[in-house]
Structure 1
Amino acid sequence: MEMRKLGNSDMKITSVGFGAWALGGSGWEFAWGPQDDADSIAAIHRSLELGVNWVDTAAVYGLGHSEEIVARALKEWRGPRPYVFTKCVLRWNAKGNIWKEFTPESIRRECEDSLRRLQVDTIDLYQMHWPPDDGKPGLEQAWQTLAALKTEGKVRWIGVSNFNVAQIKRAEKSAVVTSLQPPYSIIRRQIEAETLPYCEKQAIGVISYAPMASGLLTGAMTRERAAALPADDFRSRNPEFREPRLSKNLELVERLRQVGARHRRAPGEVAIAWTLRHPAI
């Protein structure tokens, strides 16, 4: 599988990784509906068998459950250990309410919790999951805390997620930004104008999430399936899965299907290949 160097790090990662968002299961605000843990573990193992060498998760996915499933999968895996990436600054309480918290104390507590759930001594890439809301403080002290965790050896490299260029520049004043994880797909291209060119210029590695638009571009999503998404699947509230956008998106999938047919590839593979064609990714 093709390998690409991630930003200023020493990690050479496969161009496709395993995203563990859905593994969190149901019962939280941004769930993908019920998931079978055995199936989730099998999916991780299959991706590793195919050569994938990194798994990306987050503390908030399933309110800690995704990290626990990743740990179980890697404990049972007998092959080379993949890199493990996770994220911080989204906290939750016993009622499942989620909020952003950027204090050093909170981030340090999150890091220790993730190390425990993942059953690792060091996190390969620790990412700020979201920046503060516009006009709110916390970005600089949070990023400085991640830099301190790197110095202490708790994490190997640090990155950001869902940041714009202005926010990346603020972080860079304190410590080097190794990576950015933004949403990017053929139907969500906002980062092409400014963010991707900046990251390419600054040698910031870009790990794009949702290249298949959360399943919409796989070729398996139909109008009927979209209408039947359970209430605890966040996609049931996503405008891309509802009219008037749904019809346009399904038309795009058919065009991807036509392209894929010429190469014996599924629409989702074409969607991923389209994303990977950008030199900044």
Structure 2
Amino acid sequence: MEYRKLGKTDLELSAITYGAFAIGGNMWGGNEKKDSIDSVKASIDNGVTTLDTAPFYGFGLSEEMIGAAIQGYDRTKIQLLTKFGLVWDGSNQGKGEFFFDAEEAGKTIPVYKYSSKTSVIHEVENSLKRLRTDYIDLLQIHWPDSTTPISETMEALDLLLQQGKIRAAGVSNYSVDQVSEARKNLNIASNQVGYSMLNRGIEQDLVPYAKENDLGIIVYSPMERGLLTGK
């Protein structure tokens, strides 16, 4: 396995990262809990030390299974990446930007993009409990929230850095302009975006910007959800 330094941080991430959306079950046709946990362990045993999850993945289930899977391993040799900013439990009290209606156990659950300072702090506390840890290696906003100033979201991340609850802060699905705005307030480490041989848009603007500014890029769906695997 190759390991790479993320941006200007001291984080060393495995070049291949375990993406934990599917084990959450929602939008992926369900999952077997034991198989999911075993897959995480098998990944770690083969050098994949970086695990990327989010509260929205299974409405907390993915984080819970990651937390269970890493028990017994040296926490200092595992990098936990999670996110915030997709709210589904009503804790936003009607605020935020409506994203879409998710389906769970036959119920329709409205999901909102919401990343106010108070909400970010609340989400992180829940993530720490589900992951069974006292710090997150990289915390990322899941999607931009047009109803909250970027500066307010970055203020929350800066506070979490000072408290030692996160080691680094990043964004996800941000445009170059949004990344530039965020970096006026906080030296974010990375931007997580979709990228594959069929989806190469970031080569036009984000990749040159990242190289020039030492910004890490973490890609999701490099196999286009299986389309490029031949299955």
The reply on whether 1:112 has 2:108 as its aligned counterpart is no
Q: Aligned pairs, how many?
A: 214
Q: Give 1 or 2: higher helix fraction.
A: 1
Residue number among 105, 123, 142 corresponding to 1:129 in the alignment: 142
- Aligned to 1:13, the other structure's residue is in SS state strand
Residue number among 81, 100, 103 corresponding to 2:113 in the alignment: 100
1:183 aligned residue? 194
- Aligned to 1:32, the other structure's residue is in SS state coil
Q: Give 1 or 2: higher strand fraction.
A: 2
Q: Deviations over 1:124-180 (max 9, x none)?
A: 0000111124xx443220111111111111111000000010000110110101011
Residue number among 76, 83, 89 corresponding to 1:87 in the alignment: 83
- Segments of 5+ residues of structure 2 without an aligned counterpart are 91-107
- Segments of 5+ residues of structure 1 without an aligned counterpart are 221-281
- Give runs of ≥4 in structure 1 deviating > 4 Å: 76-80
Q: Deviations over 1:55-92 (max 9, x none)?
A: 00011111111000000101154797411000001111
Distance across 1 between alignment mates of 2:75 and 2:10: 21
Report the AA paired with residue 203 of structure 2: E
1:6 aligned residue? 6
Residue number among 139, 145, 149 corresponding to 1:138 in the alignment: 149
In 2, are the aligned partners of 1:45 and 1:77 still within 8 Å (CA)?
Answer: no
Distance across 1 between alignment mates of 2:191 and 2:131: 22
State, as a whole percentage, how many aligned pairs show the same letter. 38
In 2, are the aligned partners of 1:74 and 1:81 still within 8 Å (CA)?
Answer: no
1:67 aligned residue? 63
1:154 aligned residue? 165
Report the AA paired with residue 147 of structure 1: D
Q: Aligned-pair distance for 1:53?
A: 1.2
TM-score (ref. length: structure 2): 0.88
Q: Deviations over 1:207-238 (max 9, x none)?
A: 11110011111122xxxxxxxxxxxxxxxxxx
Q: 1:80 to 1:177 in 2, by over 3 A?
A: closer
Q: How large is the Cα RMSD of the aligned pairs?
A: 1.5
Report the AA paired with residue 180 of structure 1: N
TM-score (ref. length: structure 1): 0.73
In 2, are the aligned partners of 1:144 and 1:174 still within 8 Å (CA)?
Answer: yes
